[in-house]
Structure 1
Amino acid sequence: MEHQNNPRRSFLKKAAASGALATFTGGISFAQSQSEPIRRDFNLNYAPHFGMFKHHAGDDYVDQINFMAEQGFPALEDNGLMKRSPEDQKRIGAALEKNGMQMGVFVIDPGFNWKVALTTGKQEYIDAFVQECEKAAELAKVVNAKWMTVVPGYFERKLPMDQQTSNIIEAYRRGAEVLEPHGLTMVMEPLSDNPDLYLRHSNQSYMICKAVDSPAVKILYDIYHMQRNEGNLIANMELCWDEIAYIQIGDNPGRKEPGTGEINYLNVFKWIDEKGFKGICGMEHGNAQPGKEGEAALIEAYHTADKFK
């Protein structure tokens, strides 16, 4: 989509400099007052998270969703969805439906200590994981979700690496038995935050997906984490592409919006689009600048990185 003459983009440029966007303040967002369909201003399906635009939309979940929709974002991701009240979960689902938006990932968190997790093969942890998968399957109906994030946890130093891998494969097979009949997919996320975490590379995740052999178990490729752990982003994504179901975004260093670090997101997004990816690209990062000016700058950063056509 061509954005050079897009009035919204010109408006946001001015807002980033002046701290404007006053149109979107107040109890009712601009999106709520419109009868025409929500605009879609991006080539890829970027998904913000709650709090990213709180200085414009306020603290209410529905107001934030309405603001995201008005800005052209077609999806939302919410890691903490399972811990929210049933009332809030229903309000979030209704607001997404009203705005024609998709639900991105939420996290399946069994609640046990990740230092002694699925790598151990202990039945109590597998049972807890399966139970949370069952809860996630029910919650997915409320918000029309398709994907949920999973991480296997820490290394079990007392076991050989291959044994730990086998334990994870078995646990994910059990989870897949719950999710697959509902058409749902757990997406495992290799992380860079802690060297004690078992899952750190895309090829590890790829091997587990092939071993589980279920459409309910795929890869969440977080570009920020993978830049830190392995780099060579496009080549490594190509190697794992048939198992990647969800993508997350964050520049490095800093884990902020595209254009604030070393990753050439214009090229990365162009490649993802050329692969025909129709899934969600979650904006799992912070804002580089504070306040309304920072939020406007973040939106403008996505227009800039998305302008590959």
Structure 2
Amino acid sequence: MSMLKFAANLSLLFTERPLIDRFAAARAAGFDAVEIQFPYTLSPEQIKQELDAHELNLVLINIPAGDWEAGERGLACLPGRETEFAAGLDQAIEWACSLKVGKLNCLAGVMPQDATAEQVARTLAGNLKLAAERCRQAGIELMIEAINTRDIPGFYLHHSEQVLKLISQLELPAAALQYDVYHMQIMEGNLISTLQQNADKIGHIQIADVPGRHEPGTGEINFTNLFKALESQGYPGYISLEYIPQGQTEAGLGWLATWMTQDERNELECSS
């Protein structure tokens, strides 16, 4: 029986429904954990009610990332936006404490055109130090994610090694790499060796296949080998399904049955 644990990303899965209704859908599909990229369109009270009603854990949320509609993908590397970043960090920590969320993800953002490389590096370092210390004080783990530059041109952190070096050089407490299999397959490949070599530095894993960012089995990644490797190294955290379903979410969950417990499998079969 697989010991891997899977979480549903409610920002990308079950989008046939309003966000408030996706908690029930995730539970019906056999999940006991969820994550939300940006939950801030709901209130903490609404989310807590859904988590309690459906016996779900919320394992990760993102720190607010600026004006998403305008193309912003994080504030941490943007000179002049430090006050806004700090306010978003405060909000995220408040929500995480209220909802018992153990991990906060920080998106560095897109390299601004009107700043020097030195300014950007200095800004990111200062913001990450602040975030890591505040998270440590709150008993939360700070995740830092690398994102591919094909989908988001100019994203500042785009390789695993960049994030790992920052965590080491800045001596960030309570910080780890958020390893997104989809982004890293595009940027660097060598998924299994990276996961194995950095097992103690990776705090959260997200998955989607390449190309298309759809469910496992739709692209080039050998998820059977990937999951076996994670099992063999005893990966203790959640693997989050952060993909865009090709059709209805439940119809694309068949691949997951092999890796679920029998109780979870029964729920998944009932929901399909």
Q: Under TM normalisation by the shorter chain, which class is it?
A: 0.7 to 0.9
Q: Distance in 2 between the 1:132 and 1:247 partners?
A: 23
What is the distance in 2 between the residues matched to 1:178 and 1:137? 8
**Bigger relative CO (Cα 8 Å, ≥ 6 apart):** 2
Aligned to 1:47: 7
- The residue type paired with residue 76 of structure 2 is L
Match of 2:204, SS?
strand
Q: How far apart in 1 are the matches of 2:93 and 2:30?
A: 28
Pick from 74, 78, 88: which aligns with 2:32?
74
| In structure 2, C-alpha distance between the alignment counterparts of 1:166 and 1:77, rounded to whole Å | 30
Tell me what 2:184 maps to: 226
Alignment equivalent of 2:62, drawn from 107, 112, 120: 107
Question: Which has a greater percent of helix?
Answer: 1
**8 Å Cα contact 1:104/1:282 also seen in 2:** no
Match of 1:61 in 2: 20
In the other structure, the counterpart of 1:280 is: 238
Deviation for aligned residue 1:169: 1.8
2:126 is matched with which residue: 170, 177, 188? Answer: 170
* Secondary structure class of the residue paired with 1:278: coil
Equivalent residues of 1:118, 1:167 under 8 A apart: yes
> Secondary structure of 2:227's match?
helix
Q: Give me the CA root mean square deviation.
A: 2.6
State which structure, 1 or 2, has the greater radius of gyration over its C-alpha atoms: 1
The Cα shift of 1:273 comes to 1.7
What is the CA-CA distance between 1:223 and the residue it aligns to? 0.2
Q: Is the 8 A contact 1:116 1:156 kept in 2?
A: no
Query: For 1:75-107, what per-residue CA distance to the aligned partner results, in whole angstroms no more than 9, with x for missing partners?
Result: 101112123234423323423xx52x3212211
- Which one of the candidate residues 183, 191, 203 is aligned to 1:245? 203
Q: CA deviation digits over 1:48-91, x for unaligned, max 9?
A: 13363466xx54735x4344334432210111212323442332
Helix, strand or coil at the partner of 1:241 = coil
Does the aligned pair in 1 maintain the 2:167–2:176 contact within 8 Å? Answer: yes
Say if 1:248 and 1:281, in contact at 8 Å, map to a contact too. yes
**In 2, Cα distance between equivalents of 1:253 and 1:68:** 25
Deviation of the 1:240 alpha carbon: 3.1
Q: Which residue of 2 aligns with 1:299?
A: 253
Unpaired runs of at least 5, structure 1: 2-41
Q: Which residue of 2 aligns with 1:143?
A: 99
Deviation at 1:295, TM superposition (A): 1.6
What count of residue pairs does the alignment treat as equivalent? 255
After TM superposition, give the deviation of residue 158 of structure 1 in Å: 5.6
CA distance 1:159–1:305, change in 2 (3 Å): same
Unaligned runs of 5+ in 2: 262-272
Partner deviation per Cα, 1:108-128 (whole Å, 9 max, x = no partner)? 115257489433443xx2222
- What SS is found at the alignment partner of 1:48? strand
Residue 181 of structure 1 pairs with residue 125 of structure 2? no
Report % sequence identity.
28
What secondary structure sits across from 2:253 in the alignment? helix
- 2:40 counterpart SS class: helix
Deviation at 1:187, TM superposition (A): 0.9
Cα distance, 1:129 vs structure 2: 1.4
Aligned equivalent of 1:37: none
Give distance in 2, aligned partners of 1:215 and 1:195.
29
Identify if the C-alpha distance between structure 1 residues 119 and 59 changes in structure 2 by more than 3 Å, giving closer, same or farther.
closer
Q: Describe the shift of the 1:236–1:163 C-alpha distance in structure 2 as closer, same or farther (beyond 3 A).
A: farther
CA distance in 2, matches of 1:186, 1:47: 18
d(CA) in 1 for partners of 2:39 and 2:6?
A: 18
2:179 match: secondary structure = strand
- Give the deviation of 1:43 after TM superposition: 2.9
Whole-angstrom distance in 1 between the partners of 2:117 and 2:222: 34
Return the alpha-carbon distance in structure 2 between the equivalents of residues 172 and 116 of structure 1: 12
Tell me the distance in 2 between the aligned counterparts of 1:85 and 1:173: 28
